[in-house]
Amino acid sequence: MTFLESLGSPADLRRLDASECDVLAKEIRDYLITTVSGTGGHLGPNLGVVELTMGLHRTFESPRDTIIFDVGHQAYVHKLLTGRREEFSTLRQRDGLSGYPSRTESDHDVVENSHASASLSWADGIAKARQLTGERDRHVVAVIGDGALTGGMAWEALNTIAADTSTPPRRLVIVVNDNGRSYAPTVGGFAAHLDELRTLSGYEKLLSWGKETLRQSGRPGRAAYSAIHGVKRGLKDMVSPPETGMFDELGIKYLGPVDGHDLPSVEKALQLAKQFDGGPVIVHMITQKGHGFDPAVNDDADQFHSVGVIDPVTGKSTPSKSTSWTSVFGTEICEIAEERKDIVAVTAAMLLPVGLAKFAEEFPDRVFDVGIAEQHAVASAAGLSFGGLHPVVCIYSTFLSRAFDQVLMDVALHRQGVTFVLDRAGITGPDGASHHGIWDIAMLRVVPGLRLAAPRDAARLTEELREAVTVEDAPTVVRFPRGSVGADIPALRRLDDGVDILRERPTGSESHVLIVSVGPFARLAGDVADRLAEQGLSATIIDPRWVLPVPESVIGLAAAHSLVAVLEDGVKIGGIGSQIRSDLREADSRIGVLELGVPDEFLPQGTREEILTEVGLDVDTIVSEILRALPAEVADRADQSARRAV
């Protein structure tokens, strides 16, 4: 039995000696490489925190001590150390192990939200609660990366944490996992401060000093920390670490930097932080993303931040022969930027995932990566627009909610021409509840003047993107899903207000169902129409292209049918279907509207197809819903017609 196989809980880990821990660290890395290569997932971040996570669980007693992982995609090692090795082959699969912390899996998991920069706020609140309830023997530990520290929410929390003067002090430890990257190299002023510690003159001297000081220190609590802090201050003239001074000014005690891959140093630093009785402590760990796996370390793009199925030896994946929505956007935005010098791109630490790599290469002065700071990205885009440029803000759909106030009050209220490109819209699959992009339509529907496009194929994506960037007095949105774009779906004709007719009822037949297809559901709509035809029901399929506001012709077409069925890849509450229902009501129309979207709930992980079937967005369920919603006399006539045809 390997050491990894013998671990049932963190208590088992604490019984191992130093040499056994070295073996365990290698076993964990080998296991991660083998397993994640087969399932896909966040490989690089987890290879980088093996010793760090082992040190946490050897020093603190989870779940009595609360350990919070910011974002949480680096919690695979934590899962292995808390008794979930046997389920690891199901990682990110339907009914399997989540790729993030999950309360349903373990008491050791606390914060499931996989949106960055929230850990310090959670830690602040939990630590305050522990203080007020008299549980001073329970620590709260937040693990946050240098990438997540680019988010404003983290600094709001630090401001509050630093200002606390309560007595007795709270037991709060902040571990900064500094690997210099989020998806790609971390950007911004704070990143520049941390980067100075990685220079030959600064980082190595401080790291050497840190190891030696930790080795020599045996005194607990405030005395040990004061000694270390005094030595560090004495070295300031030699290395002058700017971020130390920043934390000093905030009033938060700082310990480090520590080699995050040297387990004895990690444990010693965490023990000192645990014993310190003077308030919150920051422990600065230097780690390497992808550590121990050469293909990841040598990958300049993202060091295997998130991988699909790969070869566990070479790290190579099977090249995809299909074209992704993201790549179509990435190519088109470069062509538009070549034609228009006012086009600039803005993203929030997601340059590569949203397809801006080529744009950054061709127009380096016209792309702005602001770090994990969506609020700043959107408000800054409003300023860019006011200054005479047309910014294109590129983020995942799920992250737009973090900047809703700025979309509403900074862009829409000021009538600034800003285009939002929302990648991974709709049901996304294996990343689970927090990454499904199903709320953007309902959220944006209430923004005055906003126009939203949902392309059904690659041709419409390029077309609608070009239309979006011509709008200079209001926010525009182009949303598309994850994955392959598929073949183009041509229209029979286009109406004056831009609505595409994809299928019309046969001449002379009764008008039964108007299917309004939103975005990539056009192909599904066609399959539904085919099945309805088998039962004698005719269907007209339309793609509004620009779904907000609803084009007037949609309301006119609805009046000629017995039922409107709206297929959309977003929550039904507040979606396009509910908007059409509202518009029909205002037009005094009594045509029934069947809203076929996603239920208003947090959806699990799984493939897109699995989840669509589960929520009733498959052909069989949709046809059944339509038959149930049609007026009885219409369904009867259609049934009789179908029988006569047979």
Which residues, other chains included, contact 588 with Cβ-Cβ below 8 Å and sequence gap of 6+?
Answer: none
Q: What are phi and psi of 641, to 5 degrees?
A: -65, -40
C-alpha to C-alpha distance for 19 and 478, rounded to whole angstroms: 55
C-alpha to C-alpha distance for 466 and 416, rounded to whole angstroms: 17
583 has binding-site annotation: no
Whether the CB-CB separation of 47 and 292 falls below 8 Å is answered with yes
60 has binding-site annotation: no
Other CB atoms within 10 A of residue 87 CB: 12
CA-based torsion, 292, 296, 299, 304: positive or negative = negative
C-alpha to C-alpha distance for 580 and 592, rounded to whole angstroms: 10
Which residues, other chains included, contact 198 with Cβ-Cβ below 8 Å and sequence gap of 6+?
Answer: 180, 286
532: left (phi over 0), alpha (psi -120 to 50) or beta: alpha
114 has binding-site annotation: yes
459 has binding-site annotation: no
Q: What are phi and psi of 101, to 5 degrees?
A: -55, 145
Which residues, other chains included, contact 415 with Cβ-Cβ below 8 Å and sequence gap of 6+?
Answer: 449, 473, 474
208 has binding-site annotation: no
C-alpha to C-alpha distance for 185 and 231, rounded to whole angstroms: 31
Whether the CB-CB separation of 139 and 175 falls below 8 Å is answered with no
DSSP letter string, 196-220: HTTSTTTHHHHHHHHHHHHHH----
Whether the CB-CB separation of 131 and 165 falls below 8 Å is answered with no
What's at 114, amino acid-wise?
Answer: S
Fill in the DSSP letter of residue 150.
G
C-alpha to C-alpha distance for 120 and 141, rounded to whole angstroms: 9
Residue given tokens 């830690």 in the structure block:
123
73 has binding-site annotation: yes
374 has binding-site annotation: yes
Residue 463 burial (10 A CB sphere; 0-12, 13-18, 19+): middle
Fill in the DSSP letter of residue 478.
E
Best CA proximity match to 77, nearest among 119, 31, 19: 31
C-alpha to C-alpha distance for 408 and 434, rounded to whole angstroms: 22
C-alpha to C-alpha distance for 555 and 578, rounded to whole angstroms: 13
C-alpha to C-alpha distance for 625 and 491, rounded to whole angstroms: 26
Fill in the DSSP letter of residue 307.
B
177 has binding-site annotation: no
Q: What are phi and psi of 89, to 5 degrees?
A: -70, -15
Cross-strand pairs, 174 = 142, 282
Whether the CB-CB separation of 348 and 399 falls below 8 Å is answered with yes
C-alpha to C-alpha distance for 394 and 391, rounded to whole angstroms: 9
Does a cis peptide bond (omega within 30 degrees of 0) precede residue 549? yes
457 has binding-site annotation: no
C-alpha to C-alpha distance for 501 and 628, rounded to whole angstroms: 25
**Which pair of tokens denotes residue 605?**
């992980």
Active-site residue set:
289, 374, 402
148 has binding-site annotation: yes
C-alpha to C-alpha distance for 298 and 291, rounded to whole angstroms: 10
Other CB atoms within 10 A of residue 275 CB: 15
Give the CA dihedral 284, 290, 291, 297, nearest 10 degrees: -110
Binding residues, by number, are: 73, 114-116, 146-148, 179, 293, 374
Binding residues for Mg(2+), by number, are: 146, 179
